[in-house]
Chain A
Protein backbone atom coordinates (compact mmCIF):
# COMPACT_ATOMS: atom_id res chain seq x y z
CA UNK A 1 0.00 0.00 0.00
CA UNK A 2 1.31 3.43 -0.88
CA UNK A 3 1.35 6.65 1.04
CA UNK A 4 -1.04 9.33 -0.07
CA UNK A 5 -0.88 13.07 0.39
CA UNK A 6 -3.40 14.81 2.65
CA UNK A 7 -3.69 18.34 3.96
CA UNK A 8 -4.36 18.88 7.65
CA UNK A 9 -5.26 22.16 9.32
CA UNK A 10 -3.20 22.06 12.51
CA UNK A 11 -3.04 25.05 14.87
CA UNK A 12 -4.29 27.29 12.03
CA UNK A 13 -1.51 26.17 9.67
CA UNK A 14 -2.09 23.98 6.64
CA UNK A 15 0.29 21.02 6.66
CA UNK A 16 0.74 18.66 3.74
CA UNK A 17 1.76 15.21 4.85
CA UNK A 18 2.19 11.79 3.29
CA UNK A 19 0.29 9.14 5.25
CA UNK A 20 -0.70 5.50 5.07
CA UNK A 21 -4.41 4.69 5.37
CA UNK A 22 -3.76 3.02 8.72
CA UNK A 23 -1.85 5.93 10.28
CA UNK A 24 -3.55 7.41 13.32
CA UNK A 25 -3.61 11.16 13.75
CA UNK A 26 -1.31 10.80 16.77
CA UNK A 27 1.33 9.00 14.71
CA UNK A 28 1.19 11.69 12.04
CA UNK A 29 1.40 14.51 14.59
CA UNK A 30 4.36 13.01 16.43
CA UNK A 31 6.32 11.21 13.73
CA UNK A 32 5.69 13.31 10.62
CA UNK A 33 5.10 16.80 12.00
CA UNK A 34 7.26 16.70 15.14
CA UNK A 35 4.37 17.92 17.30
CA UNK A 36 5.40 15.72 20.20
CA UNK A 37 3.30 17.49 22.84
CA UNK A 38 0.53 14.92 22.46
CA UNK A 39 1.67 11.67 24.06
CA UNK A 40 0.94 8.04 23.35
CA UNK A 41 0.43 6.10 26.54
CA UNK A 42 -2.18 3.34 26.40
CA UNK A 43 -2.91 3.62 22.68
CA UNK A 44 -6.46 2.39 23.17
CA UNK A 45 -8.40 5.42 24.37
CA UNK A 46 -8.27 4.76 28.09
CA UNK A 47 -5.71 7.24 29.44
CA UNK A 48 -6.42 10.50 27.59
CA UNK A 49 -2.80 11.65 27.21
CA UNK A 50 -3.21 11.92 23.41
CA UNK A 51 -6.19 14.31 23.64
CA UNK A 52 -6.37 17.02 20.97
CA UNK A 53 -9.17 19.25 19.71
CA UNK A 54 -10.98 18.57 16.46
CA UNK A 55 -13.31 21.44 15.55
CA UNK A 56 -13.05 22.64 19.16
CA UNK A 57 -14.05 19.32 20.70
CA UNK A 58 -11.67 17.07 22.62
CA UNK A 59 -10.99 13.71 20.95
CA UNK A 60 -8.47 10.90 21.30
CA UNK A 61 -5.89 11.24 18.55
CA UNK A 62 -4.75 7.62 19.06
CA UNK A 63 -8.22 6.42 18.02
CA UNK A 64 -8.68 8.86 15.14
CA UNK A 65 -7.35 8.02 11.70
CA UNK A 66 -5.35 10.77 10.01
CA UNK A 67 -7.65 10.31 7.00
CA UNK A 68 -10.66 11.11 9.19
CA UNK A 69 -9.09 14.39 10.31
CA UNK A 70 -8.96 15.86 6.81
CA UNK A 71 -11.18 18.94 6.60
CA UNK A 72 -11.34 19.51 10.36
CA UNK A 73 -9.61 22.17 12.44
CA UNK A 74 -7.07 20.48 14.68
CA UNK A 75 -5.55 22.12 17.72
CA UNK A 76 -2.79 20.46 19.70
CA UNK A 77 -1.20 21.49 22.98
CA UNK A 78 1.42 23.41 20.97
CA UNK A 79 -1.36 25.70 19.76
CA UNK A 80 -2.66 26.67 23.21
CA UNK A 81 -0.13 29.43 23.91
CA UNK A 82 -0.18 32.70 22.01
CA UNK A 83 3.41 32.84 20.75
CA UNK A 84 5.61 33.00 23.84
CA UNK A 85 2.73 34.01 26.04
CA UNK A 86 1.17 31.08 27.91
CA UNK A 87 -2.60 30.80 28.11
CA UNK A 88 -4.30 31.42 31.47
CA UNK A 89 -4.81 27.69 31.86
CA UNK A 90 -1.17 26.84 31.21
CA UNK A 91 0.01 29.55 33.61
CA UNK A 92 -2.44 28.28 36.20
CA UNK A 93 -0.98 24.75 35.91
CA UNK A 94 2.47 26.20 36.65
CA UNK A 95 1.26 28.40 39.50
CA UNK A 96 -0.62 25.58 41.19
CA UNK A 97 2.17 23.03 40.75
CA UNK A 98 -0.15 20.82 38.73
CA UNK A 99 2.63 19.25 36.68
CA UNK A 100 4.52 16.32 38.17
CA UNK A 101 6.07 14.01 35.58
CA UNK A 102 4.16 15.90 32.89
CA UNK A 103 3.15 12.96 30.73
CA UNK A 104 -0.59 13.48 31.22
CA UNK A 105 -0.36 17.26 31.21
CA UNK A 106 -0.96 17.90 27.51
CA UNK A 107 -4.09 15.74 27.57
CA UNK A 108 -5.29 17.37 30.79
CA UNK A 109 -4.75 20.83 29.26
CA UNK A 110 -6.72 19.98 26.13
CA UNK A 111 -9.66 18.45 28.05
CA UNK A 112 -9.67 21.38 30.47
CA UNK A 113 -9.40 23.96 27.70
CA UNK A 114 -12.52 22.54 26.03
CA UNK A 115 -14.36 22.72 29.35
CA UNK A 116 -13.29 26.31 30.08
CA UNK A 117 -14.43 27.50 26.65
CA UNK A 118 -18.01 26.50 27.54
CA UNK A 119 -17.82 27.15 31.26
CA UNK A 120 -15.11 29.62 32.42
CA UNK A 121 -16.03 29.23 36.09
CA UNK A 122 -16.56 25.51 36.69
CA UNK A 123 -16.99 24.08 40.17
CA UNK A 124 -14.89 21.16 41.38
CA UNK A 125 -17.46 18.51 40.45
CA UNK A 126 -17.72 19.79 36.88
CA UNK A 127 -13.93 19.82 36.51
CA UNK A 128 -13.61 16.28 37.85
CA UNK A 129 -16.31 15.08 35.46
CA UNK A 130 -14.69 16.82 32.50
CA UNK A 131 -11.28 15.33 33.31
CA UNK A 132 -12.79 11.88 33.99
CA UNK A 133 -11.24 10.59 30.77
CA UNK A 134 -7.69 11.56 31.68
CA UNK A 135 -5.49 9.50 33.95
CA UNK A 136 -2.55 10.90 35.96
CA UNK A 137 -0.40 8.09 37.32
CA UNK A 138 1.42 10.50 39.65
CA UNK A 139 -2.10 10.87 41.09
CA UNK A 140 -1.75 14.60 41.59
CA UNK A 141 -5.39 15.21 40.77
CA UNK A 142 -6.09 17.74 43.53
CA UNK A 143 -3.61 20.27 42.13
CA UNK A 144 -4.82 19.72 38.57
CA UNK A 145 -8.46 20.20 39.49
CA UNK A 146 -7.57 23.35 41.43
CA UNK A 147 -5.53 24.71 38.53
CA UNK A 148 -8.40 24.22 36.09
CA UNK A 149 -11.08 25.60 38.42
CA UNK A 150 -9.01 28.72 39.18
CA UNK A 151 -7.60 29.30 35.68
CA UNK A 152 -10.18 31.88 34.62
CA UNK A 153 -11.54 32.46 38.09
CA UNK A 154 -8.66 33.29 40.50
CA UNK A 155 -9.56 32.94 44.17
CA UNK A 156 -8.32 35.41 46.77
CA UNK A 157 -8.05 32.70 49.41
CA UNK A 158 -6.01 30.34 47.22
CA UNK A 159 -2.28 30.77 47.98
CA UNK A 160 -1.32 29.62 44.47
CA UNK A 161 -3.56 31.97 42.51
CA UNK A 162 -1.96 35.14 41.19
CA UNK A 163 -4.88 37.51 41.60
CA UNK A 164 -4.52 41.15 40.60
CA UNK A 165 -4.56 42.33 44.22
CA UNK A 166 -1.70 40.00 45.12
CA UNK A 167 0.36 41.12 42.13
CA UNK A 168 0.00 44.74 43.30
CA UNK A 169 1.30 43.85 46.75
Chain B
Protein backbone atom coordinates (compact mmCIF):
# COMPACT_ATOMS: atom_id res chain seq x y z
CA UNK B 1 0.00 0.00 0.00
CA UNK B 2 1.37 3.39 -1.00
CA UNK B 3 1.15 6.42 1.22
CA UNK B 4 -0.55 9.47 -0.28
CA UNK B 5 1.81 12.33 -1.14
CA UNK B 6 2.79 14.85 1.53
CA UNK B 7 5.60 17.16 2.46
CA UNK B 8 7.89 15.91 5.23
CA UNK B 9 9.32 18.44 7.66
CA UNK B 10 11.79 17.71 10.43
CA UNK B 11 12.20 20.65 12.83
CA UNK B 12 15.23 20.46 15.09
CA UNK B 13 13.59 21.63 18.32
CA UNK B 14 10.26 22.14 20.11
CA UNK B 15 10.12 25.83 19.18
CA UNK B 16 10.48 24.89 15.53
CA UNK B 17 7.58 22.44 15.77
CA UNK B 18 5.32 24.97 17.51
CA UNK B 19 6.19 27.66 14.96
CA UNK B 20 5.32 25.33 12.11
CA UNK B 21 2.05 24.28 13.79
CA UNK B 22 1.11 27.93 14.24
CA UNK B 23 1.63 28.76 10.58
CA UNK B 24 0.38 25.59 8.91
CA UNK B 25 -3.34 24.92 8.54
CA UNK B 26 -5.45 21.94 9.53
CA UNK B 27 -3.83 19.86 6.79
CA UNK B 28 -0.80 19.30 9.01
CA UNK B 29 -0.27 16.27 11.18
CA UNK B 30 2.36 15.39 13.76
CA UNK B 31 4.37 12.24 13.09
CA UNK B 32 5.78 10.61 16.24
CA UNK B 33 5.96 6.80 15.91
CA UNK B 34 3.60 6.63 12.96
CA UNK B 35 2.07 3.32 13.99
CA UNK B 36 -1.45 4.80 13.98
CA UNK B 37 -1.12 7.80 11.64
CA UNK B 38 0.60 6.04 8.72
CA UNK B 39 -1.92 3.19 8.78
CA UNK B 40 -4.79 5.65 8.56
CA UNK B 41 -3.03 7.49 5.73
CA UNK B 42 -2.45 4.24 3.83
CA UNK B 43 -6.17 3.50 4.08
CA UNK B 44 -6.97 6.95 2.71
CA UNK B 45 -8.73 8.04 5.91
CA UNK B 46 -6.39 11.01 6.19
CA UNK B 47 -4.62 12.99 3.51
CA UNK B 48 -2.52 15.64 5.25
CA UNK B 49 -0.47 17.98 3.08
CA UNK B 50 2.35 18.18 5.58
CA UNK B 51 3.79 15.84 8.20
CA UNK B 52 5.91 17.33 10.98
CA UNK B 53 8.28 14.71 12.32
CA UNK B 54 9.27 14.69 15.99
CA UNK B 55 12.34 12.60 15.16
CA UNK B 56 14.83 15.22 16.32
CA UNK B 57 12.93 16.13 19.51
CA UNK B 58 14.80 13.98 22.01
CA UNK B 59 13.90 16.64 24.59
CA UNK B 60 10.37 15.15 24.66
CA UNK B 61 11.60 11.66 25.56
CA UNK B 62 12.07 11.28 29.32
CA UNK B 63 10.61 9.78 32.52
CA UNK B 64 11.38 11.83 35.65
CA UNK B 65 10.21 12.04 39.24
CA UNK B 66 9.75 15.67 40.29
CA UNK B 67 7.83 17.27 43.21
CA UNK B 68 5.86 14.10 43.96
CA UNK B 69 4.90 13.66 40.32
CA UNK B 70 5.97 11.35 37.52
CA UNK B 71 6.61 13.38 34.39
CA UNK B 72 6.70 11.59 31.06
CA UNK B 73 7.67 13.24 27.79
CA UNK B 74 5.03 12.72 25.11
CA UNK B 75 7.52 11.22 22.65
CA UNK B 76 8.79 8.60 25.13
CA UNK B 77 8.69 5.20 23.40
CA UNK B 78 6.39 2.56 24.93
CA UNK B 79 9.45 0.32 25.47
CA UNK B 80 11.04 2.93 27.79
CA UNK B 81 7.89 3.11 29.92
CA UNK B 82 7.78 -0.67 30.29
CA UNK B 83 11.44 -0.70 31.31
CA UNK B 84 11.04 2.08 33.89
CA UNK B 85 11.21 1.00 37.56
CA UNK B 86 9.48 4.23 38.59
CA UNK B 87 6.42 3.47 36.44
CA UNK B 88 6.27 -0.13 37.68
CA UNK B 89 6.41 1.03 41.28
CA UNK B 90 4.11 4.06 41.24
CA UNK B 91 1.90 3.69 38.15
CA UNK B 92 1.47 -0.03 37.68
CA UNK B 93 -1.70 0.36 35.60
CA UNK B 94 0.26 2.32 33.01
CA UNK B 95 2.92 -0.38 32.94
CA UNK B 96 0.28 -3.07 32.43
CA UNK B 97 -1.42 -1.05 29.70
CA UNK B 98 1.82 -0.28 27.85
CA UNK B 99 2.81 -3.93 27.91
CA UNK B 100 -0.36 -4.73 25.99
CA UNK B 101 0.02 -2.06 23.30
CA UNK B 102 0.91 -3.41 19.86
CA UNK B 103 3.61 -6.06 19.86
CA UNK B 104 6.30 -6.29 22.48
CA UNK B 105 9.16 -6.76 20.07
CA UNK B 106 8.32 -4.30 17.38
CA UNK B 107 6.02 -1.36 17.82
CA UNK B 108 7.25 -0.52 21.28
CA UNK B 109 10.40 1.08 19.98
CA UNK B 110 8.59 3.39 17.59
CA UNK B 111 5.17 3.79 19.18
CA UNK B 112 5.05 6.62 21.74
CA UNK B 113 2.86 7.24 24.79
CA UNK B 114 1.69 10.58 23.35
CA UNK B 115 0.70 8.86 20.14
CA UNK B 116 -1.18 6.22 22.10
CA UNK B 117 -3.26 8.82 23.94
CA UNK B 118 -3.95 10.67 20.68
CA UNK B 119 -4.71 7.61 18.56
CA UNK B 120 -7.89 8.31 16.67
CA UNK B 121 -11.17 6.68 17.62
CA UNK B 122 -11.92 3.53 15.72
CA UNK B 123 -14.97 1.85 14.25
CA UNK B 124 -15.24 -1.39 12.32
CA UNK B 125 -17.23 0.42 9.63
CA UNK B 126 -14.76 3.33 9.29
CA UNK B 127 -11.30 1.76 9.64
CA UNK B 128 -11.50 -0.06 6.33
CA UNK B 129 -9.73 0.24 2.99
CA UNK B 130 -10.66 2.92 0.47
CA UNK B 131 -12.11 0.21 -1.80
CA UNK B 132 -14.34 -1.15 0.98
CA UNK B 133 -15.61 2.31 1.84
CA UNK B 134 -16.16 3.27 -1.80
CA UNK B 135 -19.05 0.80 -2.07
CA UNK B 136 -21.37 2.75 0.21
CA UNK B 137 -22.31 6.21 1.46
CA UNK B 138 -19.68 7.85 3.70
CA UNK B 139 -20.34 7.72 7.44
CA UNK B 140 -20.20 10.69 9.85
CA UNK B 141 -16.47 10.31 10.47
CA UNK B 142 -15.84 10.01 6.75
CA UNK B 143 -17.65 13.30 6.03
CA UNK B 144 -21.13 11.87 5.41
CA UNK B 145 -24.36 11.74 7.37
CA UNK B 146 -24.89 8.06 8.12
CA UNK B 147 -23.86 5.90 11.06
CA UNK B 148 -23.49 2.21 10.27
CA UNK B 149 -22.94 1.27 13.90
CA UNK B 150 -26.22 2.64 15.25
CA UNK B 151 -29.30 3.21 13.12
CA UNK B 152 -30.61 6.78 12.95
CA UNK B 153 -27.65 8.11 14.95
CA UNK B 154 -27.14 11.81 14.33
CA UNK B 155 -23.45 11.73 15.23
CA UNK B 156 -20.38 9.55 15.11
CA UNK B 157 -20.20 6.65 17.58
CA UNK B 158 -16.56 5.65 17.04
CA UNK B 159 -14.82 4.06 20.01
CA UNK B 160 -11.70 5.16 21.86
CA UNK B 161 -9.56 2.02 22.09
CA UNK B 162 -6.45 3.54 23.65
CA UNK B 163 -4.90 1.39 26.38
CA UNK B 164 -2.70 4.21 27.64
CA UNK B 165 -5.48 6.79 28.00
CA UNK B 166 -7.67 4.43 30.05
CA UNK B 167 -4.84 3.65 32.46
CA UNK B 168 -3.78 7.29 32.70
CA UNK B 169 -7.33 8.43 33.42
CA UNK B 170 -7.54 5.89 36.25
CA UNK B 171 -4.27 7.28 37.60
CA UNK B 172 -5.72 10.81 37.50
CA UNK B 173 -3.06 12.04 35.10
CA UNK B 174 -2.99 15.42 33.43
CA UNK B 175 -1.41 16.42 30.15
CA UNK B 176 0.39 19.53 28.93
CA UNK B 177 -0.61 20.99 25.59
CA UNK B 178 1.84 23.51 24.15
CA UNK B 179 1.12 26.15 21.55
CA UNK B 180 3.38 28.88 20.23
CA UNK B 181 4.08 31.21 23.15
CA UNK B 182 1.81 29.45 25.65
CA UNK B 183 0.90 26.13 27.20
CA UNK B 184 -1.96 24.72 29.23
CA UNK B 185 -2.45 21.77 31.52
CA UNK B 186 -5.62 19.67 31.21
CA UNK B 187 -6.76 16.76 33.32
CA UNK B 188 -7.06 13.79 31.01
CA UNK B 189 -10.63 13.24 32.22
CA UNK B 190 -11.52 16.68 30.78
CA UNK B 191 -9.59 16.23 27.56
CA UNK B 192 -12.36 14.57 25.56
CA UNK B 193 -15.21 16.01 23.55
CA UNK B 194 -18.27 13.80 23.11
CA UNK B 195 -17.75 13.90 19.38
CA UNK B 196 -16.47 10.76 17.69
CA UNK B 197 -15.21 12.71 14.67
CA UNK B 198 -12.77 14.86 16.66
CA UNK B 199 -12.58 13.18 20.08
CA UNK B 200 -9.92 15.43 21.63
CA UNK B 201 -10.47 18.92 23.02
CA UNK B 202 -7.34 20.36 21.46
CA UNK B 203 -6.58 22.77 18.66
CA UNK B 204 -4.70 21.82 15.54
CA UNK B 205 -1.91 24.24 16.51
CA UNK B 206 -1.37 22.48 19.85
CA UNK B 207 1.18 19.78 20.60
CA UNK B 208 0.96 17.25 23.44
CA UNK B 209 4.29 17.61 25.24
CA UNK B 210 4.06 16.03 28.68
CA UNK B 211 2.05 13.64 30.82
CA UNK B 212 2.04 14.24 34.58
CA UNK B 213 0.93 11.61 37.09
CA UNK B 214 0.86 12.73 40.72
CA UNK B 215 2.01 10.02 43.12
CA UNK B 216 -0.91 9.53 45.50
CA UNK B 217 0.22 6.57 47.56
CA UNK B 218 -2.34 4.18 46.17
CA UNK B 219 -2.12 1.24 43.81
CA UNK B 220 -3.54 0.74 40.37
CA UNK B 221 -4.35 -2.06 37.98
CA UNK B 222 -5.34 -2.36 34.34
CA UNK B 223 -7.06 -5.30 32.66
CA UNK B 224 -8.04 -5.68 29.04
CA UNK B 225 -9.77 -8.14 26.78
CA UNK B 226 -8.71 -8.54 23.15
CA UNK B 227 -8.83 -11.26 20.51
CA UNK B 228 -5.05 -11.49 20.15
CA UNK B 229 -2.56 -10.87 22.94
CA UNK B 230 -0.32 -8.97 20.50
CA UNK B 231 -1.13 -6.27 17.94
CA UNK B 232 -4.78 -5.90 18.77
CA UNK B 233 -6.99 -3.23 20.19
CA UNK B 234 -8.96 -3.95 23.36
CA UNK B 235 -12.63 -4.77 22.95
CA UNK B 236 -13.13 -3.98 26.65
CA UNK B 237 -10.64 -2.65 29.18
CA UNK B 238 -10.70 -1.28 32.71
CA UNK B 239 -8.29 0.74 34.81
CA UNK B 240 -8.68 1.04 38.58
CA UNK B 241 -6.92 3.13 41.21
CA UNK B 242 -7.40 2.42 44.93
CA UNK B 243 -5.83 3.95 48.02
CA UNK B 244 -6.29 3.02 51.66
CA UNK B 245 -6.73 5.48 54.50
CA UNK B 246 -3.78 6.09 56.81
CA UNK B 247 -5.71 5.44 60.01
CA UNK B 248 -7.73 2.37 59.04
CA UNK B 249 -5.60 0.03 57.00
CA UNK B 250 -8.38 -1.91 55.31
CA UNK B 251 -10.60 0.99 54.40
CA UNK B 252 -10.69 2.44 50.89
CA UNK B 253 -10.09 6.18 50.97
CA UNK B 254 -10.05 7.00 47.29
CA UNK B 255 -11.11 5.02 44.25
CA UNK B 256 -11.25 5.66 40.51
CA UNK B 257 -12.78 3.23 38.03
CA UNK B 258 -12.34 3.88 34.32
CA UNK B 259 -13.75 1.69 31.56
CA UNK B 260 -12.21 1.90 28.10
CA UNK B 261 -13.17 0.79 24.58
CA UNK B 262 -16.87 1.25 25.36
CA UNK B 263 -17.47 4.85 24.35
CA UNK B 264 -16.11 7.85 22.48
CA UNK B 265 -13.63 8.35 25.32
CA UNK B 266 -12.51 6.29 28.31
CA UNK B 267 -15.43 6.43 30.79
CA UNK B 268 -14.69 7.64 34.31
CA UNK B 269 -17.46 6.06 36.40
CA UNK B 270 -17.93 8.69 39.09
CA UNK B 271 -20.86 7.07 40.91
CA UNK B 272 -19.24 3.62 41.15
CA UNK B 273 -15.90 5.12 42.18
CA UNK B 274 -17.55 7.20 44.92
CA UNK B 275 -19.53 4.23 46.23
CA UNK B 276 -16.28 2.40 47.08
CA UNK B 277 -15.16 5.02 49.60
CA UNK B 278 -15.07 3.68 53.14
CA UNK B 279 -15.55 0.07 52.00
CA UNK B 280 -13.28 -2.78 53.07
CA UNK B 281 -10.38 -3.64 50.74
CA UNK B 282 -10.97 -7.38 51.14
CA UNK B 283 -14.71 -7.30 50.53
CA UNK B 284 -15.09 -9.04 47.17
CA UNK B 285 -18.90 -8.97 47.42
CA UNK B 286 -18.80 -5.17 47.27
CA UNK B 287 -16.40 -5.36 44.33
CA UNK B 288 -18.82 -7.65 42.49
CA UNK B 289 -21.71 -5.25 43.06
CA UNK B 290 -19.64 -2.29 41.89
CA UNK B 291 -18.46 -4.25 38.84
CA UNK B 292 -22.08 -5.06 37.87
CA UNK B 293 -23.07 -1.46 38.35
CA UNK B 294 -20.10 -0.43 36.16
CA UNK B 295 -21.39 -2.74 33.46
CA UNK B 296 -24.79 -1.07 33.53
CA UNK B 297 -23.31 2.43 33.42
CA UNK B 298 -20.78 1.71 30.66
CA UNK B 299 -23.22 -0.27 28.51
CA UNK B 300 -25.35 2.78 27.81
CA UNK B 301 -22.50 4.31 25.78
CA UNK B 302 -21.46 1.29 23.75
CA UNK B 303 -22.45 0.49 20.20
CA UNK B 304 -21.71 -2.58 18.15
CA UNK B 305 -18.61 -1.36 16.31
CA UNK B 306 -15.41 -3.01 17.47
CA UNK B 307 -15.80 -6.56 16.25
CA UNK B 308 -17.19 -8.58 19.11
CA UNK B 309 -20.89 -8.69 19.91
CA UNK B 310 -22.19 -5.89 22.07
CA UNK B 311 -23.76 -8.29 24.58
CA UNK B 312 -20.45 -10.06 25.18
CA UNK B 313 -18.54 -6.80 25.59
CA UNK B 314 -21.08 -5.50 28.08
CA UNK B 315 -20.89 -8.63 30.20
CA UNK B 316 -17.11 -8.54 30.09
CA UNK B 317 -17.03 -4.95 31.44
CA UNK B 318 -18.11 -6.38 34.76
CA UNK B 319 -15.38 -9.04 34.63
CA UNK B 320 -12.61 -6.61 33.66
CA UNK B 321 -13.60 -4.13 36.37
CA UNK B 322 -13.76 -6.92 38.95
CA UNK B 323 -10.32 -8.24 37.99
CA UNK B 324 -8.82 -4.76 38.04
CA UNK B 325 -10.41 -4.00 41.44
CA UNK B 326 -9.07 -7.24 42.89
CA UNK B 327 -5.62 -6.56 41.42
CA UNK B 328 -5.44 -3.05 42.83
CA UNK B 329 -6.84 -4.11 46.24
CA UNK B 330 -4.29 -6.92 46.55
CA UNK B 331 -1.48 -4.48 45.74
CA UNK B 332 -2.72 -2.00 48.37
CA UNK B 333 -2.96 -4.74 51.01
CA UNK B 334 0.50 -6.05 50.11
CA UNK B 335 2.00 -2.55 50.28
CA UNK B 336 0.47 -1.91 53.71
CA UNK B 337 1.85 -5.21 54.93
By a beta-carbon cutoff of 8 Å, the part of chain A in contact with chain B is 1, 20-24, 27, 43-46, 48, 51, 54, 57-60, 63-65, 67-68, 111, 114-115, 129-134
Q: Which of A27, A57, A63, A114 contacts B35 (CB 8 A)?
A: A63
Binds A, one of B2-10, B88-96, B246-254, B282-290: B2-10
Contacts A45-B39, A59-B106; is A133 near B5 (CB within 8 Å)?
no
Closest to A68 in B: B55
The answer to whether B231 and A21 have CB atoms under 8 Å apart is no
Contact between A130 and B104, CB atoms less than 8 A apart: yes
Residues of B within 8 A of A20 (CB): 5
Contact A22–B34 (Cβ < 8 Å): no
| Cα–Cα distance between A60 and B231 once the two chains are bound (Å) | 12
B105 touches A114 (CB 8 A): yes
Kindly state whether residue B110 has any CB partner on chain A within 8 Å.
yes
Within 8 Å CB of A133, what residues of B? 102-107, 230-231
Task: Determine which of A22, A60, A111, A132 lies in contact with B3 in the assembled complex, contact meaning CB atoms within 8 Å.
Answer: A22
Given A45-B231, A133-B231, the answer on whether A22 and B103 have CB atoms closer than 8 Å is: no
Chain B interface residue number, banded: 20 to 34
Known: A58-B109, A133-B103. 16 other contacts (CB 8 A): A22-B5, A23-B3, A43-B42, A44-B43, A45-B35, A45-B102, A45-B106, A45-B107, A48-B103, A60-B107, A63-B35, A63-B38, A64-B110, A68-B31, A111-B106, A133-B105
* Given A21-B5, A22-B6, A46-B231, A132 contacting B39 (CB threshold 8 A): no
**In the assembled complex, B275 has its CB within 8 A of some CB on chain A:** no
- Closest residue of chain B to A48 (Cβ to Cβ) is B106
Per-position 1/0 for B1-23, Cβ under 8 A of A: 11111111010000000000000
Alpha-carbon distance A57/B43, docked complex (angstroms): 27
Closest chain-A Cβ to B80's Cβ sits at a distance in Å of 11
**Of A1, A24, A60, the contact of B106 (CB 8 Å cutoff):** A60
B39–A44 contact, CB under 8 A?
A: yes
Which residues of the partner chain A approach B229 to less than 8 Å between Cβ atoms? 132
Q: Least Cβ distance of A118 to chain B in Å? A: 11
Question: Of A51, A68, A114, which is in contact with the most chain B CB atoms at under 10 Å from its CB?
Answer: A68
A117 CB to closest chain B CB (Å) equals 12
B-chain residues with CB within 8 Å of residue A111 when the two chains form the complex = 105-106
Give Cα distance in the complex from A115 to B104, angstroms: 11
* Nearest-Cβ distance from residue A3 to partner chain B, whole angstroms: 12
User: For B55, what are the chain A residues with a Cβ–Cβ distance below 8 Å?
Assistant: 68
Identify A59's interface contact among B1, B6, B39, B110, CB under 8 A: B110
| In the assembled complex, B53 has its CB within 8 A of some CB on chain A | yes
Interface centre among A27, A63, A65, A115 (most CB of B within 10 A): A63
Q: How far is the CA of A81 from the CA of B30 in the complex (A)?
A: 37
Q: Which residues of B contact A129 (CB under 8 A)?
A: 104-105
Q: Which of B18-60 contact A (CB under 8 A)?
A: 31, 34-35, 38-39, 42-43, 51, 53, 55
Whether the Cβ atoms of A131 and B10 lie closer than 8 Å is: no
The answer to whether B110 touches A67 (Cβ under 8 A) is no
Closest B-chain residue to A54, C-beta based?
A: B109
* Cα distance, A32 to B186, chains bound together (Å): 46
In the bound complex, residues from chain B placing their C-beta under 8 Å from that of A63 are 34-35, 38-39, 110
Most A-side CB within 10 Å, residue of B2, B3, B51, B103 = B103
Report the bound CA distance from A110 to B104 in whole Å.
14
Instruction: Give the docked Cα–Cα distance between A37 and B298 (Å).
Output: 47
- Asked if B110 and A60 make an inter-chain contact with CB atoms under 8 angstroms apart, the answer reads yes
Given A22-B2, A43-B42, A132-B229, A65:B104 Cβ within 8 A? no
Q: Which residue of A lies closest to B77 (CB)?
A: A57
Task: Please state if B8 and A67 are interface contacts (CB–CB under 8 Å).
Answer: yes
Point out the residue from B5, B31, B38, B42 that lies within 8 Å of A1, measured CB to CB.
B5
Q: How far is the CA of A65 from the CA of B3 in the complex (A)?
A: 10
Which chain A positions have C-beta within 8 A of B106? 45, 48, 51, 58-60, 111, 133
Bound together, the chains give a CA A133 to CA B108 distance in angstroms of 11
CB pair B1–A132 under 8 Å, yes or no, is: no
* Given A58-B109, A60-B107, A132-B229, A65 and B1 contact (CB-CB distance below 8 Å): no
Q: Provide the B150-172 mask, 1 if CB < 8 A to any CB of A, else 0.
A: 00000000000000000000000
Contact B39 A131 (CB under 8 A): no
